[in-house]
Amino acid sequence: MQKRVAGFMSLLMLAGLIALPASATTKCFPDRYIMYEHSNYGGHSRGECTSEPDLRDVEWGIFAWEDFNDMISSLKTLGQYAYFYDGANYSNLLKYYGANQNISFVGDTLNDRFGSVWNGYP
């Protein structure tokens, strides 16, 4: 049964209908910022150490639509600052966060709004 499910998943991946979790290829160490689905560092989370031009590619599940785009409510920056943008490819800067900040809630105007992240100084 497991094999059949794996086979089906491979077929879907080949068809381009789902993508592998980004962690399979992009995980690095140490994390420079951590993003969370909910306020107070709750829900799905993910640590990153590089800039992300499109948070649609940063997934928390196995399906392509389970991603961090328009989903971040709280975050931490570790050692470096980060710029958060509205759209993909760093378009429309929304927010600057300094290094070593714990943001338990990004605020009503920015909640579920981020589409890309620049880590460090552009």
Partner 1 sequence: MAKRLTVAKGLGLLMALGLIALAILMFQRPQDPIRHTLSHGSSLVTFDAAGTVWGRRSFVREIWVAPDGSGRIDERDDSLTFPNDTERAEWVALGSPATPAISRSFGPGELSYVRLDRMSRDPRELLGDMTAGGAKPTDTLRMVALLLYENVPPTDLTHAVVGALRQVPGVEVEDRGNLVIFTGTDETSTGRAQGRIVIDVSTGQLVSEERYALGALPGLSVEPPIVMLERWIDATDLTAVSRSLAQPMGRMWTDTFPAFGLREKVIQPTSGLLCMSSRLDHICG
Count the helix, strand and coil residues of the chain and give each as a percent rounded to the nearest 5: 20, 30, 45
Q: Mark residues 17-46: x for contact with partner 1 by CB under 8 A, - for none.
A: ------------------------------
Residues 35-94 that bind partner 1 (CB under 8 A): 51, 53-54, 56-57, 81, 83, 86-94
Question: Is residue 71 packed enough to be buried (19+ CB in 10 Å), middle (13-18) or exposed (0-12)?
Answer: buried
Task: Compute the distance between CA of residue 48 and CA of residue 32 in angstroms, rounded to an integer.
Answer: 6
Task: Compute the distance between CA of residue 77 and CA of residue 55 in angstroms, rounded to an integer.
Answer: 17
Sole window of 1-9, 32-40, 41-49, 99-107 interacting with partner 1 (rule: CB under 8 A):
99-107
Binding site for partner 1 (CB under 8 A): 16, 51, 53-54, 56-57, 81, 83, 86-98, 101, 103, 106-111, 115-116, 118, 121-122
